[in-house]
Amino acid sequence: MTDNIQGKVVIITGASSGIGEATAKLLANKGAKVVLGARRAENLKRIADEITQHGGQAIYQELDVTQQSGNDAIVQLARDRFGRLDVMFLNAGLMPSSPLSALKTDEWHRMVDVNITGVLNGVAAVLPTFIAQKSGHVIATSSVAGLKAYPGGAVYGGTKWFVREFMEVLRMESALEGTNIRTATIYPAAINTELLGTITDKASLDQMQGLYDKLGISPDRIASVVAFAIGQPADTTINEFTVGPANQPW
Ligand code: NDP
């Protein structure tokens, strides 16, 4: 099968580290034109420079996914600079795990803002383009926490469960409406990134850190799955992937 990635224009949110960074590098290496968004512009610049130095094409824009205007602006940037848009990878997220009894309500709301509202904003930004051109691909990073409950993950898991529901209905409605919008939802388990840096509850952090130190695998593994989904023929949606360490029971 020829790789259906060459020349595609791909926006990646949460591209400044971890899964987003690994995916940007892999897709650029396969000939995609990547548009990187996140808040840490200095990281985005470093990653875009690295891609360019290796002969790839990358641009970036500072983006806070909680703001609709920023999502609209990065879609516009992709279209202005590369003349089209093929894929939106909604990957920005944070996981400040804690028991509900710790009442870290600011963190609950922050997760809702980034992990849910960020996804809504991204889809709202990209849907008019995808509907008009009758093609497009929306990919989102959920989590195994969106498939299974665990103590400490009530709000995080709830946000990721939302992503699952939302993406499935997006897929169904796109099929019914004949807009040819493909979807892929990814459910990673323990992947070594900066994600644990958002945990402020010490017991939760110690427990997660122990798990990741023992089992965590590279974000390259998720990048490969994103590339696999994009690389399918235009008439084929591969909708869900659960990906994690072979020895994690999750
Ligand atoms: P990282 O912490 O390395 O990456 C998170 C990314 O999200 C960063 O690029 C960060 O950029 C970005 N981000 C956070 N808040 C915002 C915001 N308001 N606006 C724009 N970007 C934002 O962790 P991962 O790579 O692991 O996380 C990527 C996704 O994978 C997340 O959705 C996470 O929930 C999910 N996931 C990760 C797992 C893992 O084990 N690592 C397991 C399951 C799911 P910046 O701070 O520069 O804005």
Give the pLDDT confidence of 163-206 residue by residue, as tens digits.
Answer: 999 999 999 999 999 999 999 999 999 999 999 999 999 999 99
Here the tokens at position 98 are 């804690």
The predicted model gives 88-105 an average pLDDT of: 98
CA distances from 199 to 19, 120, 128 (A): 18, 24, 36
201 Cβ closer than 6 Å to some ligand 1 atom? no
pLDDT band at 216 (very low <50, low <70, confident <90, very high): very high
User: What is the pTM (predicted TM-score) of this model?
Assistant: 0.98
The predicted model gives 234-243 an average pLDDT of: 96
CA distances from 17 to 25, 43, 204 (A): 11, 8, 22
Q: What is the pLDDT of residue 3?
A: 76
- For residue 126, pLDDT beyond 90: yes
- For residue 15, pLDDT beyond 70: yes
- Alpha carbons 176 and 80: distance in angstroms, whole number: 30
Which atom of ligand 1 is nearest the CA belonging to 40? 47
94, 163, 222, best to mutate for ligand 1 pocket (most atoms within 8 Å of CB): 94
Which atom of ligand 1 is nearest the CA belonging to 114? 18
Question: Got the DSSP string for 138-205?
Answer: EEEE--GGGTS--TT-HHHHHHHHHHHHHHHHHHHHHHHHT--EEEEEEEE-SB-SSGGGG---HHHH
Does the 2-242 domain belong in CATH 3.30.420.40? no
Catalytic positions are 156
pLDDT band at 134 (very low <50, low <70, confident <90, very high): very high
120, 144, 193, best to mutate for ligand 1 pocket (most atoms within 8 Å of CB): 193
Half-sphere exposure of 113 (CA within 13 A, CB side): 11
103: left (phi over 0), alpha (psi -120 to 50) or beta: left
Which atom of ligand 1 is nearest the CA belonging to 39? 48
13 Cβ closer than 6 Å to some ligand 1 atom? yes
61 Cβ closer than 6 Å to some ligand 1 atom? no
The predicted model gives 135-147 an average pLDDT of: 98
